[in-house]
Structures are given as structure tokens and as C-alpha cells.
Chain A
Amino acid sequence: DSGVTQTPKHLITATGQRVTLRCSPRSGDLSVYWYQQSLDQGLQFLIQYYNGEERAKGNILERFSAQQFPDLHSELNLSSLELGDSALYFCASSPRPLGRYNEQFFGPGTRLTVL
């Protein structure tokens, strides 16, 4: 158990809909990262927040947005869903945004299926 929690575990929805994925980082970790893993591919970095502020953006679609709240939990909002958005979405946390040792600790993921 990494200490990172994600809800829900599974989500099935229809095209055009909007969903929210939630992540709680490890206790004390200020940085939250979101990654997307499509079928048989590696994890693709989406976005990072540190202590409530956006720090880095990756290949995140304009239909997707995220935020980190004062209690440090984070939400990833996916809207106007398309079939291709079906994937595993992972959240990770680390104690600091920058540093020589950048181990990130991953949650169990949310499996999103868009029908």
C-alpha cells in the first residue's frame, strides 16, 4: 500500500459525459501528479500540482482539467468524453516538486471505460 488513494476504482460512462476522478496523496506529500495509461502503453504524464498550484503540464487535452485543494487532495475532471479516453488514470504523489530524488508513489488507479 503506497498510501495514495484513488476513487472510484472503476467508472463506466457514455460518450459526451463528464466525470471526476479523485486522489488523496500520501500524508505529508505536497505534490500530486496525474498519468494516463492507455492499452499496452506506458504511463503518459498529464499534469502536476504542488501545494495547490499547477507546476507542470504534459499531454493533457483541453477537455481535461485538474485542481488541488487546500487539504491537498486532487481531482481530475474529464469532459466531453470520447471512446479514446478509456484508460487507466493514475495519481502519484511525492514530498516535493523538485529535487534530486524524484520517486513518485502511485495510487491503484481508476479504470475509465467510455461506451
Chain B
Amino acid sequence: DQQVKQNSPSLSVQEGRISILNCDYTNSMFDYFLWYKKYPAEGPTFLISISSIKDKNEDGRFTVFLNKSAKHLSLHIVPSQPGDSAVYFCAASVEYGNKLVFGAGTILRVKS
């Protein structure tokens, strides 16, 4: 049972435009959400997170939005750069929990 779903396997955007990556979850106990970026032959790198008490968190070019009623979160990258091309994983956890539950990932390609 996939509790965290990233329904788009890949996304292609033009440099300078906005990239929007989506993630849905089914477990209403999740209350902390994270995005990781992964380059080939490297481990996932923490990007940004959001607690369920917020609906938006911003860090530079990266913004994560959380819609609890829809059990949906999204990562916005503005403006997109070629170096952002990577696999992006959405992950979720229960507050004070231990493990992260990951989605299958979305491959982002930013074309210059």
C-alpha cells in the first residue's frame, strides 16, 4: 500500500520557468513532510520540509505548499535552473516518529 504517491514519473520545464512537483498521501497521521533531491550516484539531499501546522514554507527558490484537506503537497521551484535536473522524492513522517515514507520520485529535467 503506497502511502505516499508521486504520480508524475517525469517533468520537463524550460530554464527560468516554474517547476511544480506534486505529491499525494493517504495516511492522515502524517504531519511532517520533506522533499529530497537526488543526483545519479549520490544519496538523497534534504531540500525543504513543512510541518502540518503550516500550509507554506519557503526557502529561496523553493516553496512547499501543503493542503491537508486534500492530503496533497507540492514543491515549486522558481526560477528553474539546469542544475535542478534531478530526481525529487517526497517523504512523510509522523511527528516524533522515526522512519520516513518515500514516494517513488519524479525526474525533473530543466532544459536550457
Interface residues of A (CB under 8 A from B): 2, 4, 6, 31, 33, 35, 40-45, 48, 55-56, 58, 90, 92, 97-109
Within 8 A of A (CB), among B1-46: 4, 6, 32, 34, 36, 41-46
B98 contacts chain A at the CB level, 8 A cutoff = yes
Question: Smallest CB-CB separation from A40: which chain B residue?
Answer: B104
In contact, B95 and A100 (Cβ under 8 angstroms)? yes
Which of A2, A41, A90, A106 is within 8 Å of B104, CB to CB? A41
Interchain CA distance A41-B102 in the complex, whole Å = 9
27 contacts between A and B (CB under 8 A): A33-B98, A33-B99, A40-B104, A42-B6, A42-B102, A42-B103, A42-B105, A43-B44, A43-B91, A43-B100, A45-B99, A55-B98, A56-B98, A58-B99, A90-B43, A92-B43, A99-B96, A100-B51, A100-B96, A101-B49, A102-B32, A102-B98, A102-B100, A103-B49, A104-B46, A105-B46, A108-B43
B41 closest partner in A (C-beta): A108
Tell me if B93 counts as interface (CB < 8 A to partner A). yes
Chain B positions near chain A (C-beta within 8 angstroms): 4, 6, 32, 34, 36, 41-46, 49, 51, 89, 91, 93, 95-105
6 tightest Cβ-Cβ pairs between the two chains A and B:
A106-B43, A42-B102, A45-B99, A56-B98, A43-B102, A42-B104
CB distance from B26 to the nearest CB of A (A): 14
- B32:A106 contact, CB within 8 angstroms: no
Instruction: Check A103 against B98 for contact (C-beta < 8 Å).
Output: no
Q: B93's closest neighbor in chain A, by CB?
A: A102
How far does the alpha carbon of A103 sit from the alpha carbon of B45 in the complex, in Å? 10
Residues on B with C-beta less than 8 A from A31 are 98
Q: What residues of B have a CB within 8 angstroms of the CB of A99 in the complex?
A: 96
A100 surroundings in chain B (CB, below 8 A)? 32, 51, 95-96
A43 touches B89 (CB 8 A): yes
